Chains A and B, each alone.
Chain A
Amino acid sequence: MGKLIFNYENCTGCRACELACSFHKEGVFAPSKSRIKIVRIDEEGLDIPIGCEQCDNAPCITACPTRALSRNSETNAIVLNPDFCIGCKQCMVICPFGAIHYNEKSKIFYKCDLCDGKPECVKWCVTGGIEYYDGIEEFPRRKSADRIQQFILNLPKSTRSIDTGGKKE
């Protein structure tokens, strides 16, 4: 059961993953044809990788009226069959992560298929912004806890302190 993990706090926004993806899949360098997307929020200095989470109860599969989306049992990836796709964009609209990418110009959807278990984007990510877990059950709980802790510690002080009626900072 493979899955990509997106660690926004490690992402530097270099977008090598986008280019690696489009080159691996389409043979060209074009972020508009990449399955993964880095949203660069310049004013806050944040870079957030957006890609398919391969949800168990996937809204995109449910929403697709022509069953163009289905799960590959070997890799756990939800894959798109372009022959069945009618371009209604329901999957794109319903995806809570914005992970299904539509290219306006070529009228084609780009959907992550985990590169048959060897995701190209992960190979090019030198900071650990994207990681791949072959068995998601291996994903350590501790790591999640670390991330949440880090996130909380990085909040501005005003939102962190809780009013307990006691002495304040």
Chain B
Amino acid sequence: MTFDYGGYAGKTLRIDLTKNKITKETQSKQRVEKYIGGRGADAKILFDELKPNINPLHSDNILCISTGPVTGLLGPTTGRVNVATKSPLTDIYGNSNAGSDWGSELKYAGYDNIIIKGKAAKPVYLWIDDEHVELKDAAHLWGEGLFETTLILQEEHRGYDTKVAAIGPAAEKGVLFCSIIFNMWDAAGRTGTGTVMASKNLKAITVSGSGELKVADPERYLEIVQDGWLGILNDPGFRTGEHQALGTAICVNWGNAQGWLPTRNFRESTFEGADSISGEEFRDKYSTRSSPIPGGRACMSCPNRCKRFGRIESGKYAGTRGSIEYEGIAAFGSKCGVSDLEAVFHAYTLSNDYGMDCVSCGNTIATFMELAEEGIIENTDKLGLRFGNADAMVEMVHRIANKRGKLGNLGALGAYKAALKIGKDAVDYTTSIKGIDTIACDPRVAKGFGFTYAISSRGSDHLRTHVVFEMIKMPPEIGKELFGSEKACDLMSYDGKVNMVLWHENLAAITDSIGSCRFMHASYYAQYPIPELLGKLRKKKEVNSIKYYDWISAATGMKIDYKKLLEIGARIVNIERALNTQFGIRRKDDRLPKRFSEPIPKGPGKGQRFPKKQLEKMLDEYYTSRGWDLKTGLLKKSELIRLDMKDVFDELKKNNLVK
């Protein structure tokens, strides 16, 4: 083993595009001990190496792509890859995460992570074939759609054995919310990572790897991994089989029934057309394969198979095909008031081919629809921008991607920056937090989600915690045991939600840093101690669960227990906060937009709102638990020292950014 710890590939790849220089260095032992890898390590790299005040599209910005110690090691859901940079959309910490098998391939090639700096003189792509790493001319790829780019690169290299991460033409044109898309369908979608990659003239990264990965304690490791797989397979939620049958698109009807399906730019939270854009509809009409798994595809080593693959055979949008997920359906569907699934599917696929984040794209269009209906932006040409107009929605995708016309140019800025430019009270119609659009779950109904949006380090985002705990029928005893209140299991209650968010946030940081997926500890609850608690309640003798601390220990050889695990999670949350502090984020930014303090007009969530007073109360509780300064939201010396982050304290101290 070249590296002291198992699981890791052991090398970091540094690319300086300006100097056309490629260096391979040994993975930093100290960094992985403290931050593990993936999201945690990336945040530390940015904190150490990035000049905070730069323009995100300047060549000095850094793009980090990372895997974790268990990526590609057979553990359940271990296909994730993390991307971090300074976001051009929000001008703060930008971070996104994708699935597929690209990340594991990078490790088989011998590298844990890539750090990209500078800007190439002309379009290039990075070719990684085991030890052979080279920057190659990408003139023939520049301007090509994402699907075509991926296919060309696979043909030029090792066919299906070449894994491709690429950006689309919208990123080249400078649309601020572009994604890096892995193997065609898996996007590190949010915060504009693709736009940063385009600003560096880097079109794609191809990887093929034939190496091997070892773990520190193979026998123990296999036991743990088997336990983890069984933990998911025996999870009550998994056993319903609903998620395997429909993928994340199951959330359309689920959200509609619980009253958190955002409709017409969050004016309402139930959609009368939900049935016609539902996962069931997609399975029945467009899935390319029939039972038992209709068109379901999985990322590396995952029993869950979220991705639905489908195709439109005839009609206006014939030929549209691809993977589909809930977020995209809701963004182009219910948020825009469109109940035509073919138009939604088409807009979704277009957005992928252009390389745009479908959440931000759909949300921006929905915001514009409302602004047009309210007469704040003019609807001068024949576009007919209004809720429910599917043709206008599809046309807007083209306009934004190509920055065509006034609306196209505005849309390319994302809803928030566009609203600032429009002026008047346009901002009040956006649902952005820290500059990024809100995802498809109404926070007025789902209080834990709502609080997460306000505090999440990359702006409005549920995946920092993914507190599905409040949505599924968890026994109240577990809410009491873990989060101090039986009402934590109640969707519309505020009780216990701060504790719930804290626990989930710490674990989510670990999940993203080891290279596995959120389904491990949220959505399904296969993560220690929940299966154990459930087992105790139901008087089961044997319980399977995944224990991150055992898992990391057996893979790497580090010694980590449950307490230390949560401490590492807290450290990762703190390093991200430290970064954001440098980017100017304070307590005033941990907020919810105006819309969410207004009551929901109808449906199961009728009358629900998220009052500012309530949020402030929860923030006080959260900051106190985190050990952050109540008034400003700055980090405090005592907590940083407790978490063994003195270097971070010293750096922040230089600019007086710490209490």
A and B: interacting chains? yes
Indicate whether A105 sits within 8 Å of B213 (C-beta atoms), given known contacts A27-B218, A126-B233, A127-B292. no
Residues in B whose Cβ lies below 8 Å from that of A26: 212
Within 8 A of A (CB), among B307-323: 307, 309-310, 313-314, 321-323
Verify if A29 is at the interface (C-beta below 8 Å from B).
yes
Residue of B nearest to A9 (CB): B289
Contact assessment for B305 and A127 in the assembled complex, using a CB-CB cutoff below 8 Å: yes
Q: Given the complex, which residues of A lie within 8 Å of B183, measured CB to CB?
A: 40, 42
Of B45-53, B113-121, B294-302, B627-635, the one with at least 4 CB within 8 A of chain A: B294-302
Q: Which residues of B contact A30 (CB under 8 A)?
A: 108, 210-213
Contact with A along B187-209 (1 / 0, CB 8 A): 00000000000000000000001
- Residue A13 at the B interface, CB < 8 A? yes
Give a binary string over A145-165; 1 marks a CB under 8 Å from any B CB, 0 the rest: 000001001101100000000
A-B contact count (CB 8 A): 109
Q: How many Å from the CB of A140 to the closest CB on chain B?
A: 17
B108 touches A42 (CB 8 A): no
Interface string of A1-38 (1 = CB under 8 A from B): 00000000110111110011011001111111100000
Closest residue of A by beta carbon distance from B321: A45
The reply on B184 being an interface residue by CB < 8 A is yes
Task: Output the least CB separation between B546 and chain A (Å).
Answer: 15
Task: Return chain A residues, CB-CB under 8 Å to B184.
Answer: 42-43
Closest Cβ of chain A to B158, distance in Å, is: 11
A128 on the B face (CB < 8 A): yes
Instruction: Label chain B's interface by main secondary structure.
Output: loop
Q: How distant is A125 from chain B, measured CB to nearest CB, in Å?
A: 10
A47 at the interface (CB under 8 A from B): yes
* Contact A154–B290 (Cβ < 8 Å): yes
Q: B300 contacts which of A15, A28, A104 (Cβ < 8 Å)?
A: A15
Contact A28 B292 (CB under 8 A): no
Q: How many residues of B contact A (CB 8 A)?
A: 47
Distance (Å) between the CB of B229 and the closest chain A CB?
8
Given A32-B108, A127-B292: A14 touches B302 (CB 8 Å cut-off): yes
CA of A41 to CA of B162, assembled, Å: 11
Interface positions, chain A 71-120, Cβ under 8 Å from B, are: 103-105
B151 within 8 Å of A (CB atoms) = yes
Knowing A23-B222, A45-B323 touch, does A32 contact B150 (C-beta < 8 A)? no
Q: Is the CB of B160 within 8 A of A41?
A: yes
Q: A14-B302, A19-B74, A26-B212 are in contact. Are A105 and B313 (CB under 8 A)?
A: no
**With A12-B305, A32-B108, A32-B212 as contacts: A43 and B293 at CB distance below 8 Å:** no
Name A's B-contacting residues (CB within 8 A): 9-10, 12-16, 19-20, 22-23, 26-33, 39-45, 47, 103-105, 124, 126-128, 150, 153-154, 156-157
Question: Interface of B with A (CB < 8 Å)?
Answer: 72-74, 101, 108, 130, 147, 150-151, 160, 183-185, 209-215, 218, 222, 229, 233, 288-290, 292-293, 295-303, 305, 307, 309-310, 313-314, 321-323
Given pairs A14-B298, A45-B323, A127-B303, 15 additional interface contacts (CB within 8 A): A10-B293, A13-B297, A14-B299, A14-B300, A19-B73, A20-B74, A23-B74, A28-B214, A31-B108, A45-B297, A45-B310, A47-B297, A124-B229, A126-B229, A153-B290
Interchain residue pairs A-B with the least CB separation, the first 3: A45-B309, A30-B212, A32-B210
